Amino acid sequence: MSETEIDFASLLCSRLCHDLLSPVGAMNNGIELLADEHDPDMRQRCMDLLTESAKAAADKLKFFRLAFGAAGGFGAEVDPNEAKLVIEPMVTSSGRTALDWAVPAQMMPKRAVKILLNLVLLANDTLVRGGTLFVGAETRAGEQEIVIQASGPKILMDSAVREALTGQLDPAAVDTRTAAAWMAHKLAVQDGGMLQLAEPDDEHLVIGALIRN
């Protein structure tokens, strides 16, 4: 593994740690409160906090394991339902965002699933006030098409993330904010594929990927 690959892996690890900090910290706080609390109602609230935070941490770990790691087995293809199982809780947990899933049940190349997951992560981050996240995919001869659309009352995407998605960001400038976008771009353009980002407005964002197997 080259020094560049090690640096990039460290950025993905930093993103994972950043996203886990909140639920793990909440669990720590809940345990501390539970140790000092004797009121039954307050103890139940502490237990509810622990349960909710533990689930959030587990959901994030499952998502990142498939998006960044080697989950999905050692085969070349992954069942897209496995991707849906990790996407749905991450998207809908806030209660403000709905998932619209239009991905056929047939097996997908592992690379395509990783691209889909990373694009979902990025699009979901733009829905600062919630909304709807549409995830679609279609398989044609030797090609996989993916479309992610975020719709909501307020769409915000960092300009550096846009540049990373479209391959315009200087590799030296990739950081924890842009690592997932850079990874999605690099995976998509292999073997002549492409990744496109429609110019977003305040309420809509569309990302498309064409992956050649």
| Residue 92 pLDDT class (50, 70, 90 cuts) | very high
Instruction: Quote the tokens at residue 83.
Output: 């991707």
CATH no. for 3-212: 3.30.565.10
208 C-beta neighbours (distance < 10 Å), count: 17
Q: Are 194 and 178 in contact (CB under 8 A)?
A: no
| Residue 119 pLDDT class (50, 70, 90 cuts) | very high
157 C-beta neighbours (distance < 10 Å), count: 19
Instruction: Quote the tokens at residue 43.
Output: 């103890």
Q: CA–CA separation, 169 vs 87, rounded Å?
A: 27
Number of residues written out for the chain: 213
Higher per-residue confidence, 209 vs 142: 209
Q: CA–CA separation, 133 vs 97, rounded Å?
A: 7
Model pLDDT, residue 193: 92
Domain-wise residue ranges, the chain? 3-212
Model pLDDT, residue 5: 66
The pTM for the full model equals: 0.88
Task: Kindly report, residue by residue over 160-197, the tens digit of the pLDDT.
Answer: 999 999 999 998 899 999 999 999 999 999 989 999 99
Window from 70-74, 91-95, 171-175, 196-200 with minimum mean pLDDT: 70-74
Nearest Cα residue to 8 out of 188, 163, 165, 183: 183
